[in-house]
Amino acid sequence: MSEATAHPFWDCDKDGLRVRLRLTPSGRRDAIDGVMTDVEGLGVLKASVTKVPEGGKANQALIKMLAKEWKVAKSAIEVVQGTTSRNKVLRVLGNAADLERSIIAWTKDKGLA
């Protein structure tokens, strides 16, 4: 999908989307901070949460924020890589095409396009 290449922080898979993300815990606010390019040249969504990283609190806050932003159930989002790292890969379960359309619209609405 041509628009997906303009927003390369996600990839479609058979179960939904895989989202690359860099999380800053203990931030001033819960927010999406933009999109950056990592050292491998891949797009990464930047986010911050006010929760501390201990005990998975920051990951839980991230999932809660993204579920609200993307209008999906919290149970549909899971950290599949980087549980204790700032660099994470999330899986968003659902119909990949529908989720991708929703994410594309969301990125445009947020000015990330």
Could you tell me which CATH number the domain at 2-109 has?
A: 3.30.1200.10
Going from N- to C-terminal start, the domains of the chain cover 2-109
pLDDT surpassing 60 at residue 75 = yes
Task: Report d(CA 12, CA 26) in Å as an integer.
Answer: 30
Q: How far is CA 34 from CA 21, 65, 73, 75, 96, in A?
A: 10, 15, 22, 24, 22
Q: pLDDT-derived band of residue 72, with 50, 70 and 90 as boundaries?
A: very high
Residue that the structure tokens 């800053």 belong to = 24
Contacts of 4 (CB under 8 A, 6+ apart): 10, 11, 12, 100, 104
pTM of structure: 0.91
Q: What is the pLDDT of residue 3?
A: 40
